[in-house]
Amino acid sequence: MQVQRRRGGMATTGSDAEEEQSFLAGPASSSANGNSSNGSGPAGAGSNADVGGALGGHDGLSKDGMGGSSSTGTVAEGQRKKAYNAKLILGATALLFLLGLAFQSGSAPNMLASRLRASISKRELHVATWNIAAINNNPFEYWLTLDNNPDYDKLMEHVQDFIESPGANDVAVSEVFTESMFKELVTEMRKMPNFDEASIKTTMNMWKTNFRSRKIISGFLKDGELGKKRLTSMPDRVTNTIPLRSGESAYRPTVINCFGSSLDSMEEWWTKWRNFMFRDSIDTVKSGTLIPASMLKLISREKYPVITEQEAKVSIPLQTLCAAIFDAVLVHMMNVIDGRLGGGASYGSKSSAWQGLRSQICHSLNLKKNDRILDILSNTYLDREIIFLQEVAGAFIERARRDAVLSGAFHIVGPTKMSNSDQNSVILLSKERFPRGITEDITNRLKFDSSDGDGAGKKVAAGDVTIVHATDVFQNNLVLASFHGDTNGLQTVPVVRAVTKVVAKPELLLFGLDANTYEKGKAGVKQDVTEFASEYVHLGLDSCWGQHPNPRNFTTYNGRTYLQSQLNKASKKSEIRSKGDVNPKDFILFKQGTFAVQHVTKDNTGKKAYMELTVFPTLEFPSDHGVLSADLELI
């Protein structure tokens, strides 16, 4: 990628053609740009010369360290020896002192050089921002880059073909989720206190007159109205993966999570599904001990106006039915693809490949996601002095605070009021640069009014934005903000406007955000990146990408597969560029005339390198957003 060198808010880059070539050059350009693009300049560990200079060095000494004279026993030589020994003692003392500081703060010894540079560099700040979300529950939700694993692509292509061209496999729902299964479902629902009899009877009528005769693909999975009504995705969201007080998770028996037991037959799946939803008592983190089906709530017509009044009224049993049909269809489809059921000879063998692949992905990506994120932050980005994180689960915040390296190096600042959706904005502050941590959380000063636009702030929930005051060791007063925008980015401009209002004139602002901006937006539908840039420039702000960011400088490059509950968001692998989420979404903002950008990098590998035109997440990089890293110089 292209490195911008900017001063006083002005950017100097190559021609548009060169810039586009840089962004689209792929892996070769990443290695070719070496030091300038991978952060090994000011963001790196520092050179030996830097360390030597800081510790006194031995400038003026000859190669043998004994000065220029070859005679011995002279007074001059003795003085030189004394001076040299004094420098060695001073250097060793300083080194021991700095090592003590490093270990005291939890920094790894190999980060000493970068920490030293950051500590003594009054005019530099090393900053990063990263939306760490993406893979949460469903290992198949996103197209992945799995090196040396052709089985994954084959499996996902078979699923795509099954749904796009089902042919004779597009059977009636009742052939997959049978009448006997439905009767047993009704019996179980009648035992639940949150399922009323009138709603169950209405749902029974809907089954007889509607759902049982639908085709599993064309009439159910691909019914866009069901998706908009959230009759399938809502129960999936609530019961897919449930955090337990023990620190483990309970998994609904379905294809699209990390359920660890066999789903080799429909009978096996149904027994496990029925027991999980209606009979298993689990001890949850948020709500104590309960039965999973009791977690289902009515779907609001106000929030999802496509759902009819009658459907909303009976939405607890109705969404339970839809969830059962959905999971049954997925298990049926995967076992057809594996050759376990009739009609699947053209799709695969009887080796149950899908369950083996799911286990591999879950182990490497889903179950180890927090481990990998901590590893990236604690190693690759330990040289940052400020890290803005978005979509951070509460469990990860606690995990980070228990991590010896990360908590030793950073103050970990979460929101004062945690997000109900468990998607929090967090700020990490270097303990060396900010020994006192934050001086005040000022998130409650964020106010919206009519000047911020219609609906401003209405979709900004607790935890979406965190704003704090902090003063560094050089007495620089900063306002720091971390924010995660709504899916279409329509709340981003109102939030940026509101944040600027809480920054006093002498204060510095650094704002890391997932702006959810798009290469090509649409007014009132999704936020265009060029229009966003015009707005922040109008507000007196600048960004790490300058005042005219390249719309093709992508920080996301992903697409959803056909194995998830909202098929309207699915794309073929060949369509990821045109239909997927390939957009310039992530920014670091600051006041115009306060910082000059020395280096800016993107990272979708966890190694301060960005592979253009590469689909991610990967097994090594667990987020659908790249890390954005900038070295800033105070003007």
- Beta strands 249-251; 241-243: pairing state: antiparallel
Note the pLDDT of residue 89: 55
**Inter-CA distances, 289 with 94, 222, 280, 294, Å:** 56, 36, 10, 11
415 touches 461 (CB < 8 A): no
Three-state DSSP class for residue 374: helix
> How confident is the model over 393-427, as pLDDT tens digits?
888 999 999 999 999 999 999 999 998 888 999 99
The whole-number pLDDT of residue 449 equals 80
| pLDDT band at residue 227 under the 50/70/90 scheme | confident
Give the orientation angle of helix 266-278 with respect to helix 179-189, to 10 degrees: 10
Element (H, E) at 413: strand 410-413
Residue 27 has pLDDT above 70, yes or no: no
- Measure the CA–CA gap between 3 and 36, rounded to whole angstroms: 7
Residue among 461, 494, 465, 462 at smallest CA distance from 479: 465
Percent of the chain with pLDDT over 90: 64
* 317 Cβ contact list (under 8 Å, min separation 6): 189, 195, 199, 200, 202, 203
Residue, of 48 and 515, whose pLDDT is higher: 515
Pairing of strands 410-413, 424-430: antiparallel
Which H helix or E strand runs over 358? helix 353-361
Judged against a pLDDT cut of 80, whether residue 71 lies above it is answered with no
CB 390 within 8 A of CB 492: no
The token duo for 144 is: 């992945």
Task: Give the start-end residues of each E strand in 121-243.
Answer: 124-131, 241-243
Say which residue the tokens 């670091």 belong to. Answer: 588
Res 341: pLDDT: 58
Q: Are strands 465-471 and 477-484 parallel, antiparallel or unpaired?
A: antiparallel
Tell me, what's the pLDDT at 540?
Answer: 97
pLDDT of residue 199: 98
Amino acid at 63: K
**Number of Cβ within a 10 Å radius of residue 510:** 24
**C-alpha to C-alpha distances, 54 to 47, 57, 240, 561, nearest whole angstrom:** 11, 7, 54, 53
What pLDDT band is residue 82 in, cutting at 50, 70 and 90?
low
Q: Are 239 and 277 in contact (CB under 8 A)?
A: yes
Residue with the bigger pLDDT between 342 and 306: it is 306
Per-residue model confidence (pLDDT) at position 367: 85
Q: Letter for the amino acid at 114?
A: S
pLDDT digits (tens, 9 = 90+) for 238-266: 999 998 999 889 999 999 999 999 999 99
Delineate the domains of the chain, giving CATH numbers in brackets: 42-58+73-120 (no CATH), 150-364 (no CATH), 377-516+520-553+585-634 (3.60.10.10)
Of residues 82 and 506, the one with the higher pLDDT is 506
Contact predicate 461/420, CB 8 Å = yes
Give tens-digit pLDDT for 159-189.
Answer: 999 999 999 999 999 999 999 999 999 999 9
Q: What is the mean pLDDT of the chain?
A: 83
Mode of pairing for the β-strands spanning 424-430 and 386-392: antiparallel
Residue type for 150, please? P
Q: Please state, in angstroms and rounded to a whole number, the distance separating the CA atoms of residues 381 and 45.
A: 11
Confidence of residue 92 (pLDDT cuts 50, 70, 90): low
**286 vs 342, higher pLDDT:** 286
Based on its alpha-carbon atoms, the radius of gyration of the chain, rounded to whole angstroms, reads 28
CA distance 117 to 45: 8
The span from the CA of 558 to the CA of 613, in Å, is: 10
Question: Per-residue b/e over 452-491, b at no fewer than 16 CB within 10 Å?
Answer: beeebbeebbebbbbbbbbbbeeebebbbbbbbbbebbbb
Mean pLDDT of 106-132: 66
Reported confidence tier of residue 77, pLDDT bands at 50, 70, 90: low
Q: Distance between CA 127 and CA 385 in Å, rounded?
A: 6
Distance CA 90, CA 107 (A): 23
Reported as type and span, the H/E element at residue 270 is helix 266-278
Residue 150 — pLDDT band, cuts 50, 70, 90? confident
